[in-house]
Amino acid sequence: MGQEVSQLTFSREDRIRYRQKVRRCLDVFALMLDDFGFDADRPTTGLEIELNLVDANSEPAMRNAEVLENLADPSFQSELGQFNLELNASPRLIEGGGFADYERDLRESLGRAEDRAGKSDAKVVLIGILPTLTPRHLVLDNLSTNERYRVLNEQIVAARGEDIELDIRGVERLQTHTDSIASEAACTSVQFHLQVAPDSFANYWNASQAIAGIQVALGANSPFLHGRQLWAETRVALFEQATDTRPDELKAQGVRPRVWFGERWITSIFDLFEENVRYFPPLLPICDDEDPVEVLHSGGVPKLSELRLHNGTVYRWNRPVYDIMNGRPHLRVENRVLPAGPTVVDMLANAAFYFGLAREMAEGDRPIWSQLTFSAAEENFHAAARRGIDAVVHWPRLGDIRVTELVLDVLLPRAATGLDRFGVGAAHRDRLLGVIEQRCLTRRNGAVWQTEAVRSAEHRRGMDRTAALHHMLRRYGELQHTNEPVHTWPVD
């Protein structure tokens, strides 16, 4: 969904042409999967990090256009809200010292962003949901000026036909309505990309789905929204509701939501693209002039623009990606389950755990998806979003088990094995997985630190909730710059 959009309205003919074109792309994609040479020689990885801008009072700062202009760096882009930015790290191999390269480059890039943000009287915060956001911040006028966001908003709201309801029941409850998708801008995430071969894509996607709940439990960092303590990873519930195109009647009929965990294990990447076309009407029926059949028959690489654009408007937690780099097509799993922050080292620890565990499970002798039902994987995901690091999940042969116990006894060794298969240096492997281990032993992740810090401000400093959230966010920003993992942060 990153491409520019210039068309503001769509006719019936546009929609008919697009539907025909996207199905033509799907047919060509099927042919390519059978006998095309995809780039899969070495498993390249990638990272995207969504950032928040705050002002001197820890309020969201609507200044991303100004900061981007000062940055003049193509690795930074706008995001949905004017208080959001996105950083795209350069893809790389993680063998040897690849993680150390990521850490150096990310810290340098974030340092530049912090410097340029300072010129606009703003600061950068890596967090799942800004705890100082209020409904007055999440309005249509505060969407980024890029036209694609306005068009997407119009199409989602028109498809729903009524206001979007938010009803999140956690430690406390939030009930509200909104007339736009602006609430989605509160959700800031880190996305991991893993390039895979066509014949192994299904294994990697299935493995990613199976461990999504574990990832969320370990990395939860979004406990507050609009002054309420909700889920440990409230971002999951908010994202699912804020872009829901279905009124109640369509929900009752079982129509699939556009933010979607899925409903089955797959045997091919084709299954996911075919589901997209079969289940979801187009939001942005924009066609280009390419005939993918002619391009394929002439020996070229089809862009499949319509299929890719449609895929970008179906928000799977693990999304399939078809892309072209240096004239060669490749496939990626885009892992989208985790929030941003708290620090670069925390995010890289999450990345090491994901990349290592996904590889070991995808290449294991007995696939986890042959032992775990898909519905159990989805239930684990939502249980983890609610309870975070205190969650209990269901796991084959172990039954119901605490996430921390499962990770310490079973999954960390498997993640280490997977990182060894990537050729990750032992010191880098042990450092990053050691962060995950200590999170489990202390049972403290970003969500735990935030709630403890707010509770301390309320009870020990006598602050009300609003003041406590601002105090916590200021302290969070200071500690973020140390790059010390969040389980080591002092509460006061």
Residue-wise pLDDT tens digits, 23-63: 999 999 999 999 888 988 888 999 999 999 999 999 999 99
Residue in this structure with the two tokens 């042959």, named with its chain if needed? 370
pLDDT at 1: 42
Tokens at 33, concatenated: 């999967």
Sequential DSSP letters for 324-361 = EETTEEEEEEEEEEEEP-S-HHHHHHHHHHHHHHHHHH
pLDDT at 7: 58
Report angle CA 55, 61, 65 to the nearest 5 degrees.
130
pLDDT band at 8 (very low <50, low <70, confident <90, very high): low
167-194 per-position pLDDT tens digit: 999 999 999 999 999 999 999 999 999 9
pTM above 0.75, yes or no: yes
**Three-class SS of residue 176?**
strand
Strand 399-402 relative to strand 392-395, pairing: antiparallel
237-295 per-position pLDDT tens digit: 999 999 899 988 999 999 999 999 999 999 999 999 999 999 999 989 999 999 999 99
Looking at the DSSP assignment, which residues form a beta bridge with residue 318? 335
- Which residue, among 127, 145, 126, 2, has the nearest Cα to 63 in the 3D structure? 145
Does the pLDDT value for residue 6 go beyond 60?
no
pLDDT at 159: 85
**How far, in Å, are 6, 65, 155, 157, 478 from residue 283 at the CA level?**
14, 26, 6, 10, 41
Tokens at 332, concatenated: 């990626």
435-481 per-position pLDDT tens digit: 999 999 999 999 999 999 999 999 999 999 999 999 999 999 999 99
Does the pLDDT value for residue 2 go beyond 50?
no
Average pLDDT over residues 201-220: 98
Mean pLDDT (the chain) is 95
Average pLDDT over residues 394-410: 98
407 DSSP assignment? I
Is 314:258 a contact under the CB 8 Å cutoff? yes
Looking at the DSSP assignment, which residues form a beta bridge with residue 141? none
- Which residue, among 367, 329, 42, has the nearest Cα to 194 in the 3D structure? 42
Does the pLDDT value for residue 146 go beyond 90?
no
Is 431:419 a contact under the CB 8 Å cutoff? no
Does the pLDDT value for residue 135 go beyond 50?
yes
pLDDT at 10: 83
Instruction: Report the distance separating Cα 489 and Cα 480, nearest Å.
Output: 9
Tokens at 461, concatenated: 């400093």
154-171 per-position pLDDT tens digit: 888 888 888 999 999 999
pLDDT band at 150 (very low <50, low <70, confident <90, very high): confident
Tokens at 207, concatenated: 């493995």
- Residue 396's Cβ-count burial label (10 Å; 0-12, 13-18, 19+) is middle
pLDDT at 395: 98
Strand 84-88 relative to strand 173-178, pairing: unpaired
Task: Give the 3-state secondary structure of 196-222.
Answer: ECHHHHHHHHHHHHHHHHHHHHHHCCE
Instruction: Report the distance separating Cα 186 and Cα 131, nearest Å.
Output: 9
